[in-house]
């Protein structure tokens, strides 16, 4: 009974690790694709200076979020709260303009020109799959 239970547990953990790994890979590559797509098709704009921001600390690092406002080329006012990279915070603190690229069909979808997708999710996904195959 003990050996069967152990084998079943190992199989369940392997399957779970592979599923989590594949999900992380899909999420990571999707994030990278979305950022690249917006940078390629996006229209450039400058966001208004932020009035304040939220800073959250976790094991994975620090995240920043704020309410961002800008006008599209046709004068439409857009305002949206979202996370942003530390480089953008540095620009705001130093009074430099912060450029974005927005989707002309859906202007509330935008990325910062300095924003890059993290490889962290992709690496984590690979790690789970490798661990499931070789170490469990």
The total domain count for the chain is 1
Q: Is residue 12 part of a domain?
A: no
Q: How far apart are CA 53 and CA 4, in angstroms?
A: 54
Q: Is residue 76, in this structure, part of any structural domain at all?
A: yes
Specify if 38 maps to a domain. Answer: yes
- Which residues constitute the domain of residue 86? 27-134
On whether residue 4 sits in a domain, the answer given is: no
pLDDT of residue 40: 92
9 domain-assigned: no
The answer to the question of residue 22 being in a domain is no
Cα–Cα distance for residue pair 19/39, rounded to 1 Å: 30
Can you point out the beta strands (E) in 1-136? 43-47, 54-58, 61-71, 77-84, 98-103, 106-112
pLDDT at residue number 62: 86
pTM of the full structure: 0.73
| Per-residue model confidence (pLDDT) at position 130 | 85
Give residue-wise pLDDT tens across range 83-135.
998 888 889 888 899 999 999 999 999 999 988 777 778 888 888 888 888 87
pLDDT score of 95: 84
Q: Is residue 6 part of a domain?
A: no
Nearest CA among 46, 35, 38, 2 for reference residue 118: 35
> Exposed, middle or buried by CB within 10 Å (0-12, 13-18, 19+), for 56?
exposed
- Each residue of 9-20: pLDDT tens digit? 888 888 888 888
**pLDDT tens readout for residues 32-91:** 889 889 999 999 999 999 988 999 998 878 889 999 999 999 999 999 999 998 888 889
Domain-embedded: residue 14: no
């Amino acid at each position: 009974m003990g050996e069967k239970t152990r084998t079943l547990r190992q199989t369940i953990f392997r399957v779970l690790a592979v599923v989590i790994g594949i999900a992380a890979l899909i999420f990571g590559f999707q994030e990278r694709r979305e950022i690249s797509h917006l940078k390629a098709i996006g229209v450039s704009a400058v966001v208004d200076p932020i009035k304040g921001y939220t800073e959250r600390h976790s094991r994975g690092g620090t995240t920043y979020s704020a309410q961002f406002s800008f006008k599209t080329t046709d004068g439409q006012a857009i305002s949206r709260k979202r996370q942003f990279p530390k480089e953008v915070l540095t620009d705001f603190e130093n009074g430099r303009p912060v450029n974005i690229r927005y989707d002309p069909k859906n202007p509330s979808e935008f990325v910062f020109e300095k924003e890059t997708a993290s490889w962290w999710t992709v690496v984590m996904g690979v790690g789970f799959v490798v661990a499931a195959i070789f170490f469990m």
